[in-house]
Structure 1
Amino acid sequence: MRVFHELTRRSGIHGEPHPVRRTRSDKARLVGKHVAGVATRNPFLATGTYDALVVPHPRKPGGVEIYTDRLRAELGPSALVLDSGINGTPLTGSRNLDFFTSAAGAIRSRSVDAKCATVADALEALTGVKVPIGALVAREIPKHVRLRTIYRALLRRHRIKTVYAVVAYFHQHLVGAARDLGIPVVELQHGAISPYHLGYSYPGRPAVPDQPDELWCFGSYWTTVAELPAGMATRVVGAPYLPPPGAKDPDRVVFLSQGTIGPSLLEFAADFAAARPELDVVFRLHPSEHPTDYTVPAGSKLRISAGPSESTLDLQSTAAYQVGVSTTALFEGMATGCRTAVAELPGHEYLQPVVDRGDALLAADGASLAARLDDAPVCADSTVYYSPDQLTSALKASAR
């Protein structure tokens, strides 16, 4: 996944998916938080035993971590919540190993396997892009080994019986530690899955180390859209955080941005707004994007929306139309009744199965979408993407 991000960024195909910017003072404060956290948020110092370990998503719109909110409520005090504060604000009452995580990544290997140069040269010959494979390996492999050892000790310390994690492909040290001890790992879906997502798609279903035992999905669509690693089962649990469809404003069109293609989508949206000046066109930034990176063309009626003053889901619940490329928010908008169009920009392939199902319209540019806006469909059955809530029954079944 890290190699893929480097490759697409250096080639100019994508921007940073989740850009993080810190000044020197920000970094100093973060170090201070890490040091203080050793005493105040250290999970090794937590008393008692726990049945489960829960690792939420770092993103928390309105202070709520939507992917594990219901799970944590169901598990109650039987769950130890491990929530990093490195790229966000940790949940109240949670613990973290941020000091150890940062320290493990700061110490790099001095020797680099000769295979790294061979792989880097082969990748450059194939793509024309040089990716620092050696530097990535020198940092990530030792970090993985160190953190895996620490997490094994933590799981033993609290006699954890089940691990629940969001974005497991960035927590392979934890998954590997649990696997070392025979502890089952459940990943909770957090975003769109497709044959092009390197965190989930393994054509031919080979055996892959350090993968969760189960993937709990929003709906049945996600259980078959990509070939998961061998041995990984799926279960549909729904998405209880989604609001019901609301009253629609027939003139509102919301564009859903994301860091990988934001500037290109803004140009697309500006062309659309110029062709349809009678519409209320809103360009909604992803939570990880920075408003200062975007400027609306002079004279355009396009409005940029960012921050917590209005949520993405609130905008979608009132918008008649939504446009995006590969963001998960498009699926959420389908569940809230939006007519959906996919902009034909890098990454739109994620949504091709949805277009093929007839649940979205593929548009080459803003002008052509303006002419065909009324052809954008409403999803015929959004329950295939987001089923009714089945979390309680899933927990009961997994406890047997």
Structure 2
Amino acid sequence: MSSTLDSVLDAATGDLVALSHAVHARPELAFEEHFASAATADLLAGGGFEVRRGVADLPTAFDATYGSGELVVAVCAEYDALPEIGHACGHNIIAASAVGAGLALAAVADELGLTVRVLGTPAEESGGGKVLMLDAGVFDDVSMAMMVHPGPFDIAAARSLALSDIAVRYAGREAHASAAPEWGINAGDAVTVAQVGVGLLRQHLRPGQQIHGIVGHAGTAPNIVPGSAEMFYYLRADTAEALADLDRRARGCFEAGAVATGCTHEIVTVSPTYTELTPDPWLVAEYRRVAGTLGRALVPEEFETSRPFGSTDMGNVTARIPGIHPVIGLDSGGAVTHQPGFTTACITESADRAVVDGARALARVAVAAATDPQQRSRLVEGTHERTVRR
């Protein structure tokens, strides 16, 4: 079985690397990934997959399917980039490795009774494409879901944080800052007060809680009292419960800015809330074993959860469906994700190797689950139970 997977991936390596480099060369932001989505889906269509584009009313989402077995294996492809620094999170690698895993599994789908689905999931960095696809029912019949994410190290059971993505908007009143300042209500000052409150709050956060943000705008000229201002903040925590606690406390800081200055304010949810990753223990253990056979030096288990790598909407998937989201390491020259140096690292020889190794590892994990009677039964029955409850 492994020889079949390896043969398919060996033959497809050139196409997979070309896809990774092409997506990297044309970075596209959330929900604008038209080139990346089409290129990824086209490669699957050329491999015999039936591709539905624009699923869940998202123009850059797709669902590519091969086979009709009772065990439904979904591999998630991400392909959105970051503003200004492009693919500094390596989603070009994620897309290419997902295609590789899908093509390899398609070669054994009939023999193993699989339905192989590669899901094009837009807007992971901001927008929550997977959450929207979950809510639209795209994952309803999935038995297990997988993806692999690049990073500086190999991690089988990566830890992520729950995330709330919000905008805080203040409305005041413009006035001449010198001739009639008493007529103004300063929205920029509301931002300042709120940020001071947030800064003081940080001392008293629970372990695992984080808050960070930027000012979108807070005025247009020094001689005009700012009549409007906007901040963008991420709130993060180890669990959804801890995130709700942080949200309550942060809202007090944002309200303080309005109260102190006489502004009005509103807090707007920018993206769906992301849940923390809860990877399936058996699938994680199998990925750890498989990655080891590929020569991957994984971080020891005792260190896996010592530091979160950020947040991901794959957490919402793993909260409902058995799944994994390991990190596959590449030589980044000391750079970490969301740094320009990591953007450069994502089209190196090491990155190309991560594409193929990631595809190979995911495919072997799926085969192991399909050929283990106990795990296969668990995954298939779990799908049926979710369907009945729905």
Report which structure shows greater RCO (CA 8 Å, sep ≥6).
2
Common fold: TM-score over 0.5? no
For the superposition of Structure 1 and Structure 2, which TM-score range results when normalised by the shorter chain?
A: under 0.3
Structure ranking higher in strand proportion = 2
TM-score, normalised by the number of residues in structure 1: 0.27
Larger radius of gyration: 2
